[in-house]
Structure 1
Amino acid sequence: DALHIVTPEEEFLLSAKDPQIRAVWQWKLNQAVHRVLNGKRDFPFWGNTSENWEPPVCRFFTYVFRAEGKLKNVVYEGEWCWGKPHGKGTLKWPDGRNHVGDFKNGLEDGFGICLIPHVSEDRYDCYKCHWKEGKMSGYGICEYGDETVYKGYFKDNLRQGFGILENPSSAKQPFKYTGHWENDKKSGYGAWDDKDRGERYIGMWQEDHRHGQGIVVMQSGVCYQRTFEMDRMVGSGILLLEDDSVYEGSFTQELMFVGKGKLTFLNGFTLEGTFSNKSGHGLQTQGILNTSGDQQDDKVTKVQLGMEEFPVEKRWWGIYDQFLEFTHSGCKGEMEETFLGFHVQTSKELQKSQESLFCERGPEEVSGKIEDVLEEIIQHQEMESMQCYLEKAMKSSLHPLGKLLKALLAAFQATYSGTGANKHLLTMAQEEVKHYAKKIWEFYWALLQMALEQKGLPDQNAYDVILPLILPRFYPDLFLLYMLYHEKEDDLYCQGIIDLSIFSDTKLLELLEVQKRSLVKDRCFLSATECLQKLMTTVDPQEKLEILQKTCEEIENTVSRVLEKEYKLPMDDLLPLLMYVVSRAKIQRLGAEIHLIRDLMDPANEGGMYDFLLTALESCYEHIQKDRIHQRESWLMSRDT
């Protein structure tokens, strides 16, 4: 005949003499709960009520905790279940701190916003995070009182996994770190922007220190690769100077050569020996100067960094791990990186934008709920339908694949845009974009397998499906690297185009030794020229190859029309006509375009018709450069004479 009484802070048993008294007590207790929940103070006589016998298990009420502990004198207003905060609610501390969000079994669990005031200043630290069993766990945004912002993942209240920490430009020491964290410290692969010095460090970290292999890129264009031990450079490295000279050896933080090293100049000359820098005496060396010029200019200027030191599959594992954890868990809603849409209006800080690193809330054509995601994936298995669905998914701020792409884009831009736009990082960048396409395709297929409960891989590949969808996001920064990498060749090519433009159409065709004299007439191949110019308006390498093929078809059509019969051009006839079209199309950065196509095109095209046509375009590009070189050499010889 006992009653078990559960209150927010204690539990006890109420013992009755017999079942009748127990029933009376239970009835009176339940009626008291009803009256308090309904805001009434009168107490009805026995049996004189029309209210339900049992009060609701889940309730909404305000309570002030009195017992010693974490919540002493804290006010909780919100939903309860079995005597504990459960559901949505607000905690308010006497010192001004408050937490608004989801609770489970008395602890913060789910999405919540916590404000912590600074004691001596009118500022707050605002944590907009996911919580688990009372601790920050999962994705969150922390806006600190000094305007520093962290966007990333937590575990047990500590930064853990991938995250971005940024101090605004208005701060005394503005910076931005994009990378991995462990136990609240920078650890693993990451990129650090020192906005004051105009430097970017890309490489390995350990306990908030640069530790391991790293690349430093400066706004001036100088960059170097060294090994670091707790922020101190050790051993030898490679230094790429602004004038395209390359130094291999030991050097100081101020980029002074010290000890044994080898300096390779742009013309291929090398200086190898022991270097020293004495105050007031400049650079001194004892060594051997080799003027044989064995190395070519392009070998010197196109050194690529980081490929062996930072394998592409190991760079951003933190982003991939979060996605895998989400999918392997069965895509539980509480693990999603999006906010849950719980609106709060307790202060100006809490009314700030409820965003996340990967999503801005808004009307979406594709759902972010995992049940809808899996159902939609099943409905879009045909190639054309799949591509349409994936295109919408990539643009969605709620779809898991869309959020993944935004995270990868943030990591890419943090590495290669701005200060990181350096030609010596091109290979790292283009390999990274291809790897993104591969991983997104694998993850999409994993979701499809989950939906169908099947195993296996599709016939299509990432080049067919994913790369055309994601490349527009990365294209501006990536193409800038290609432009920088091929700047000298493209400048030489452009000068060659200018030289060829002084010739009339008929004269140029004669100059190119076109065999069919009947083709020599003004404004020939205008349609082919206009077609090739479309190369600059597309992003997808496959589309660029199709434009090149269409250009060659237009050349053949023109020849057939002039000759009044169908004519298939052999390579000996096609190449000079294609060169004519290239010279008239005047594509400024053709070298960058060609190499981007070559690097990112589907490997299945290698050795086929597209590969053949691309090789022909490369031949035209190189021929125009060489003509320019020969013209320059002839001019120099005539001047000297």
Structure 2
Amino acid sequence: MHSGGRNSAFSQRATFFHPQSPAIYLPFFLGTVKMGSPPLRGQVDMSITDVAASLLRTEDSFSACLARINSVVLQPLLQSGSFENAKLLDELNDRFQVIWDLTEESYRTLKQTFGVSESVSIQDLYLAQKADLFLDAYIQYFSTFASCVVTQVFDHAARNKSDFWKSHKPSLQQFLSDFSPGTSIAVALHTVLHKPFWEHLQKYSLVFSQLKEAPGQNLVKEVNEAAEGFAKLHLFICQALDEANLTRNLWKSLGHKFTDVLCVPERRLLEDSRNLALYPSTGRSDRVLLFNDVLVLIQGNTFQSFDLKLTWVDATFKETGKHTLRINTPEGMFFLLAKEPESRAVWQWKLNQAVRQALSGKRDFPLWGEAGRGRDPPVCRFSSFTFREEGRLKGATYEGEWRLSKPHGKGTLTWPDGRNYVGDFQEGMEHGFGICLIPRASEDRYDCYKCHWREGKMSGYGICEYGDEMVYKGYFKDNVRQGFGILENASDAEQPFKYSGHWENDKKHGYGVWDDKERGERYIGMWQEDQRHGPGLVLMQSGVCYQRTFHMDKMVGPGTLLLEDDSIFVGNFTRDLTFVGKGKLTFPNGFTLEGTFSSKSTHGLQTQGILDTSGEQDDTAEKLQLGQEVFPVEKRWEGLYSPFLEFIRSGGQGETEEAFMGFHVQTSKELRKSQEYLFCHRGNEEAPRKVDYLEELIEHQEKDDLQDYLHQALQSSLHPLGKFLKALTLAFQASYSGIGANKHLLSMAQEEVKHYAKKIWEFYQGLLRLALEVKGQPSAGGMEESDLNGPALVLPLILPCFYPELSMLYMLYHQKEDDLYCQGIVDLSLFPDVKLLEFLEVQKYLWPLKDLTLTSNQRRSLVKDRCFLSATECLQKLITTVDPREKLDILQKTYEEIEKTVNRVLEKEYSLPMDDLLPLLMYVVTRASIQHLGAEIHLIRDLMDPTNEGGMYDFLLTALESCYKFIQKEIRLRPSWQVLHNS
């Protein structure tokens, strides 16, 4: 409602307009100018000042008219009670007040201008400078006025205010002076609230016509645009009121069953099939109504309405002998048939323009004018829709992107039961990356699925967080876990566990690793239907392990049990490690006990058999390796390799890349139930680079930079090779970390790492062939047959990922040897340089000590840690790298440092023979004091490039190994060392 805030001068003027005062301004808004007549033409020779003076009088008169309408009509109506659609009068009053404010401002600026100057320019005309504000205000007013016409607000107001009009009969008679005695109150209200505004707009048009022809004005463009705008405004008002009258008549002709649902103030009838023949393909008795927001099909006493924002008009469909339009909607399609091609063309145009305007949220100005000519509605849209028909989406609401009546792009799908999905859609189905929350029955928790989807089902890589705190990371197919995946529950759960392995039809099936964290056990082996089935290894926290065959989770047949004290039992035993039946027990000292074993609670373990004490102690139990024969390395992780092979076969890009490469989503329990969680972003741990990796593959084929390229690719989790390596790392850690750090698995782990290098090289070759094919380039000629050893190239690049677990296995496997070696190093380190050189029988002419002229005691104290210091420091770097090739380089540099020292002492070039090299290297090894040297030597030997065998590297490694064995062997001579040391 309009209230004070106008200037005081106007307030004083407005006091003259009392409801009982003479209608001195009534002729202005109750004149005889007919609606639709062209604007009056003024004299062409009027100056801008003359036009402004005329406009001043016009604005003054119109403002007074508005004041009278406000006091006599609007305010009494708003204050005297409610009636149907009374809110529209409130809205109309708001629009009325905006026009009144603009009129007052226009009058005030003109009055002020004439108060200080006798001449006026166009810049002084508020109407010309703010023409867009005036146009918008009148558009809003007449749009609301048209809504009042549609809903018959004036009729309801007239009936509701009958007593009011009787008490104000004199004032009302003044308003109705130009009407016949039979004129109704509703018609009078309609005229009073319409005619003055229409006529005032005509005067505005006259003003701009005069301004265009006034001499000396230099704002032709602005004036022309304003004049054109007011001309279009007249056309808009005419069209808007025509639509309003047609719509009102339609509501009068339809029954309440239709109007109670369909009749809303803003809705306008745009076309009726009774006026322009068109009928649905279901029958000619049906009626088609096109409104500005919906399309309605009436069939007898029922109707269907279709939101224009989600309506697609397909005119390309052809049916013999018929002029057909196919209409696509979210819940199906139907056909509209026209008798003549002209009718079909008109309906098609009107439908498309109505759809376009509904999508933009506003009508054209003017309606059906130039604004929309030649513009069809977009095929892709954004809107919301609730599905009603039977099917998997019944009751669900979708908000997001659409294409040809189907969800397509990004969107949110919400069901009444609390389920919701946010992500990618294609052709109406969940397809691409998406996050789905599913509430758990009778629990205030959700299962959260962050997966790749294909045709409405989970397919590809996914991360699922279940309401019971379990988490699955792996691959899906048709909504079930399929392929490689890791399932784990919380560490504080009642029965904590972790499974890493193959899945089939949502069950553990194939090769996999199970950690029973409560019992401190790990099972490595085969599964079937969620049961351990086939060969398997069981590892215990205590270090005990055994290899058995399982049938539906039960142990069958004999097995091999390795006890903590390195005893070996081959035969039948229970899960609690009780010997049962026939078996053979081999003790660490080589004795064997073979017979029948039994256990009674009162007597403990009993046996009947033969004890053989003839065997000698050996390291059979320590060195025994498990798993290699029963688990061929190429069969262990088939479920892990298959997605990568499928990735290559399918082209390696697009949605296949998304499904294979996976994603990273930041999660938290606090966000799990909120909508913000559904819109989380992927991958902020490593910003994605839009790089064509296929192009990069082609650019880095040369041998010189291939290794650098592979190094970068394997380090990136965004590159297929890096993703593959990350998955292999997870599988390796699941097997050999923690409980799996068992010396009896060393050979199994070692061959697995070598196999990984082979598979990564094969994967690289497959990607390269794919890249060449996609880019249309010739195949890499003979790369497979070249002298390049691919796996050997890859192995040092991937070894850092597996080194912690692998190194631990080597240390455990060679622990006794290294302990003996370390004790020897401790004893030898007590020797000063001279004594140690003498003990190791290093030729004295090779000693660097003779350069010093010191006493024996001085020499011993000053040079103990300086003799062959550079070689010692070089050898100590052996433990700073994980690459066997780099370790061999360090060994060679150590040899070179020894030679440099000898050459300096001899003051000539001297090539060390083996007899001289070994004692010197023994000295350097002793002073370097490298822990776990045996593990280092064997790791280098097992994983070095086979091409180095028989060469310089092999020779130096053999020499280092000889030094290691010598120190172990000579530990037995400790008494003689002590004597030598004391002397």
The two structures share one fold, judged by TM-score above 0.5: yes
Q: Hey, what does 1:470 align to over in structure 2?
A: 798
Q: Which has the higher contact order (CA 8 A, sep 6+)?
A: 1
SS at match of 2:372: coil
Is the 1:126–1:349 Cα contact (8 Å) retained in structure 2?
no
- Tell me how far 1:20 sits from its aligned partner: 1.5
Q: 1:283-322, aligned counterparts within 5 Å?
A: 283-294=605-616, 296=618, 298-322=619-643
1:105 to 427, 430, 441: 427
1:324 to 645, 650, 669: 645
- 2: CA distance, partners of 1:393 / 1:307: 31
- Tell me how far 1:39 sits from its aligned partner: 2.2
**Over the residues paired in the alignment, what is the CA RMSD in angstroms?**
2.3
**C-alpha distance 228-467 of structure 1, shift in aligned 2 (>3 A):** same
Q: Hey, what does 1:422 align to over in structure 2?
A: 742
Are residues 1:511 and 2:839 paired?
yes
- Tell me how far 1:353 sits from its aligned partner: 10
Q: Hey, what does 1:524 align to over in structure 2?
A: 867
Q: 1:250-399, aligned counterparts within 5 Å?
A: 250-294=572-616, 296=618, 298-336=619-657, 337-338=660-661, 347-348=673-674, 351=677, 361-363=685-687, 367=689, 372-399=692-719
Q: Hey, what does 2:953 align to over in structure 1?
A: 610
**C-alpha distance 550-124 of structure 1, shift in aligned 2 (>3 A):** same
Larger mean CA deviation between 334-343 and 197-206 belongs to: 334-343
Larger mean CA deviation between 434-443 and 396-405 belongs to: 434-443
1:481 to 785, 794, 809: 809
Letter in 2 for 1:614: L
- 2: CA distance, partners of 1:170 / 1:347: 22
- 2: CA distance, partners of 1:348 / 1:338: 27
Is the 1:204–1:211 Cα contact (8 Å) retained in structure 2?
yes
Q: 1:402-441, aligned counterparts within 5 Å?
A: 402-441=722-761
- Could you state the TM-score of these two structures normalised by the residue count of structure 1? 0.93
1:561 to 879, 904, 924: 904
Letter in 2 for 1:495: Q
**C-alpha distance 183-532 of structure 1, shift in aligned 2 (>3 A):** same
What do the CA deviations read for 1:34-91 (whole angstroms, capped 9, x no partner)? Answer: 2321223789755565354421111111111110111111111111111111111111
- Tell me how far 1:594 sits from its aligned partner: 0.3
Letter in 2 for 1:420: G
What do the CA deviations read for 1:560-592 (whole angstroms, capped 9, x no partner)? Answer: 221222111111211111111111110011000
Letter in 2 for 1:541: P
What do the CA deviations read for 1:182-241 (whole angstroms, capped 9, x no partner)? Answer: 011000000001111111000000010000000001111011000000110000011111
Q: Hey, what does 2:920 align to over in structure 1?
A: 577
SS at match of 1:443: helix
Is the 1:463–1:601 Cα contact (8 Å) retained in structure 2?
no
Is the 1:228–1:234 Cα contact (8 Å) retained in structure 2?
yes
- 1: CA distance, partners of 2:440 / 2:702: 57
What do the CA deviations read for 1:476-518 (whole angstroms, capped 9, x no partner)? Answer: 1110111111111100100011111121111111111223445
Q: Hey, what does 2:819 align to over in structure 1?
A: 491
SS at match of 1:351: helix
1:400 to 695, 720, 734: 720
Q: 1:452-467, aligned counterparts within 5 Å?
A: 452-453=772-773, 454-455=779-780, 456=782, 457=784, 458-467=786-795
Letter in 2 for 1:499: D
- 2: CA distance, partners of 1:586 / 1:355: 51
* Structure 1 stretches of at least 4 aligned residues deviating more than 6 Å after TM superposition: 41-44, 340-346, 352-356, 632-635
Are residues 1:187 and 2:509 paired?
yes
**C-alpha distance 577-633 of structure 1, shift in aligned 2 (>3 A):** closer
**C-alpha distance 30-346 of structure 1, shift in aligned 2 (>3 A):** farther
What do the CA deviations read for 1:451-472 (whole angstroms, capped 9, x no partner)? Answer: 2341531432245421121111
- 1: CA distance, partners of 2:883 / 2:929: 20
**C-alpha distance 188-619 of structure 1, shift in aligned 2 (>3 A):** same
Is the 2:364–2:371 Cα contact (8 Å) retained in structure 1?
no
What do the CA deviations read for 1:8-44 (whole angstroms, capped 9, x no partner)? Answer: 1121111111112112211222122123212237897
Q: 1:613-628, aligned counterparts within 5 Å?
A: 613-628=956-971
Q: Hey, what does 1:543 align to over in structure 2?
A: 886
- Tell me how far 1:169 sits from its aligned partner: 0.3
- Tell me how far 1:5 sits from its aligned partner: 1.2
Is the 2:461–2:662 Cα contact (8 Å) retained in structure 1?
no
- 2: CA distance, partners of 1:420 / 1:464: 26
- 1: CA distance, partners of 2:763 / 2:874: 37
| Structure with greater helix percent | 2
Is the 1:115–1:127 Cα contact (8 Å) retained in structure 2?
yes
Letter in 2 for 1:427: S
SS at match of 1:171: coil
Larger mean CA deviation between 453-462 and 546-555 belongs to: 453-462
Unaligned runs of at least 5 residues, structure 2: 1-322, 774-778, 850-862, 979-983
- 2: CA distance, partners of 1:530 / 1:272: 53
- Tell me how far 1:352 sits from its aligned partner: 7.9
What do the CA deviations read for 1:125-149 (whole angstroms, capped 9, x no partner)? Answer: 1111111111111111111111101
Letter in 1 for 2:882: V
SS at match of 2:923: helix
| Structure with greater strand percent | 1
Is the 1:27–1:53 Cα contact (8 Å) retained in structure 2?
no
- 2: CA distance, partners of 1:592 / 1:48: 85
Are residues 1:130 and 2:458 paired?
no
- Tell me how far 1:449 sits from its aligned partner: 2.5
Is the 2:412–2:422 Cα contact (8 Å) retained in structure 1?
yes
Larger mean CA deviation between 101-110 and 519-528 belongs to: 519-528
Q: Hey, what does 2:94 align to over in structure 1?
A: none
What do the CA deviations read for 1:596-634 (whole angstroms, capped 9, x no partner)? Answer: 001100011112111111111111111111111343899
**C-alpha distance 353-471 of structure 1, shift in aligned 2 (>3 A):** farther
**C-alpha distance 349-75 of structure 1, shift in aligned 2 (>3 A):** closer
SS at match of 1:466: helix
- Tell me how far 1:553 sits from its aligned partner: 1.7
What do the CA deviations read for 1:351-372 (whole angstroms, capped 9, x no partner)? Answer: 289699xx774236xx475xx1
- 2: CA distance, partners of 1:430 / 1:63: 58
**C-alpha distance 353-404 of structure 1, shift in aligned 2 (>3 A):** farther
Q: Hey, what does 2:418 align to over in structure 1?
A: 96
- Tell me how far 1:172 sits from its aligned partner: 1.1
- 2: CA distance, partners of 1:352 / 1:72: 21
Is the 2:435–2:678 Cα contact (8 Å) retained in structure 1?
no
**Count of residues in correspondence between the two structures:** 628
**C-alpha distance 517-180 of structure 1, shift in aligned 2 (>3 A):** same
**C-alpha distance 518-159 of structure 1, shift in aligned 2 (>3 A):** closer
Unaligned runs of at least 5 residues, structure 1: 636-641
SS at match of 1:202: strand
Is the 2:569–2:584 Cα contact (8 Å) retained in structure 1?
yes
Larger mean CA deviation between 504-513 and 584-593 belongs to: 504-513
Is the 2:353–2:372 Cα contact (8 Å) retained in structure 1?
no
- 2: CA distance, partners of 1:299 / 1:94: 67
Q: Hey, what does 1:178 align to over in structure 2?
A: 500
What do the CA deviations read for 1:350-404 (whole angstroms, capped 9, x no partner)? Answer: 6289699xx774236xx475xx111111222233422222222111111100100
Q: Hey, what does 2:852 align to over in structure 1?
A: none
- Tell me how far 1:274 sits from its aligned partner: 1.1
